[in-house]
Amino acid sequence: MPMSPLEELRHSGSHILATAVLRLFPDAKLDIGPPTETGFYYDIDLDHKFTADDLVKIEAEMKKIADENQPFLRKEVSREEAVAIIKERGQERYKLGRLADIPEGEKISFYQNGEFMDLCAGTHVRYSSKLKAFKLLSIAGAYHRGDEKNKQLQRIYGTAFPTKEELAQYLENLELAKARDHRRLGKELQLFTFDTEDVGPGLPLWLPKGTVIIEELEKLAKETEFAAGYQRVRTPHIARESLYLTSGHLPYYADSMFPPMELSDDGKEQTQRYYLKAMNCPHHHKLFGALPRSYRDLPLRMAEYGTCYRYEQSGELLGLMRVRSMQMNDAHIYCTEEQFAAEFKAVNEMYLKYFSIFGLGKYQMRFSTHDPAKLGQKFVNEPELWKKTEDMVRQVLVESGINFVEVPNEAAFYGPKIDVQVWSAIGREFTIATNQVDFAVPRKFNLEYITPQNTKATPLCIHRAPLGTHERFIGFLIEHFAGDFPVWLAPEQVRLVPISDKQLDHGRALAARFHAEGIRVTLDEHSDKLGAKIRRAELDKVPYTLVIGQKEAEANSVSVRSRARGDEGVITADAYLAKLRTEVATRALPEKKAASPKP
Partner RNA sequence: GCCGGCGUAGCUCAAUGGUAGAGCACCUGUUUUGUAAACAGGCGGUUGCGGGUUCGAAUCCCAUCGCCGGCUCCA
Binding residues for RNA (CB under 7 A): 49, 51, 138-143, 146-148, 152, 154-155, 183, 187, 194, 196-197, 200-202, 249, 253, 256-257, 278-279, 310-319, 322, 412, 428, 431, 434, 436, 463, 499-502, 526-532, 534-535, 538-539, 545, 547, 549-552, 559, 561, 567, 570
Q: Which of 492, 597, 590, 584 is nearest to 546 (CA)?
A: 492
**Shortest spacing between CB 313 and RNA, in angstroms:** 3
197 versus 265: smaller Cβ distance to RNA: 197
Decide if 160 contacts 133 (C-beta within 8 A).
yes
Decide if 111 contacts 118 (C-beta within 8 A).
yes
364 versus 431: smaller Cβ distance to RNA: 431
**Shortest spacing between CB 143 and RNA, in angstroms:** 4
Q: Which of 246, 243, 218 is nearest to 232 (CA)?
A: 218
**Shortest spacing between CB 266 and RNA, in angstroms:** 31
229 versus 376: smaller Cβ distance to RNA: 376
**Shortest spacing between CB 49 and RNA, in angstroms:** 5
185 versus 214: smaller Cβ distance to RNA: 185
User: In sequence order, what are the beta bridge partners of 329?
Assistant: 305
**Shortest spacing between CB 256 and RNA, in angstroms:** 2
Helical axes 383-399 vs 337-357, angle rounded to 10° = 50
| Number of residues written out for the chain | 599
d(CA 121, CA 15): 12
Amino acid at 86: I
160 versus 185: smaller Cβ distance to RNA: 185
Decide if 354 contacts 467 (C-beta within 8 A).
yes
51 versus 586: smaller Cβ distance to RNA: 51
User: H or E stretch including 457?
Assistant: strand 456-457
Residues 6+ apart with CB under 8 A from 202: 312, 317, 322, 323, 324, 325
**Shortest spacing between CB 69 and RNA, in angstroms:** 32
**Shortest spacing between CB 559 and RNA, in angstroms:** 3
d(CA 537, CA 551): 21
Please state whether the peptide bond connecting residue 2 to the residue before it is cis, i.e. omega within 30 degrees of 0. Answer: no
169 versus 550: smaller Cβ distance to RNA: 550
User: In sequence order, what are the beta bridge partners of 68?
Assistant: none
**Shortest spacing between CB 419 and RNA, in angstroms:** 8
294 versus 572: smaller Cβ distance to RNA: 572
**Shortest spacing between CB 509 and RNA, in angstroms:** 17
117 versus 490: smaller Cβ distance to RNA: 490
d(CA 183, CA 424): 12
SS3 of residue 233 by DSSP? coil
Instruction: Tell me 142's DSSP state.
Output: E
**Shortest spacing between CB 87 and RNA, in angstroms:** 27
SS3 of residue 337 by DSSP? helix
85 versus 577: smaller Cβ distance to RNA: 577
**Shortest spacing between CB 36 and RNA, in angstroms:** 8
52 versus 585: smaller Cβ distance to RNA: 52
SS3 of residue 560 by DSSP? strand
Q: Which of 501, 516, 514, 509 is nearest to 545 (CA)?
A: 514
d(CA 24, CA 50): 11
Decide if 524 contacts 536 (C-beta within 8 A).
yes
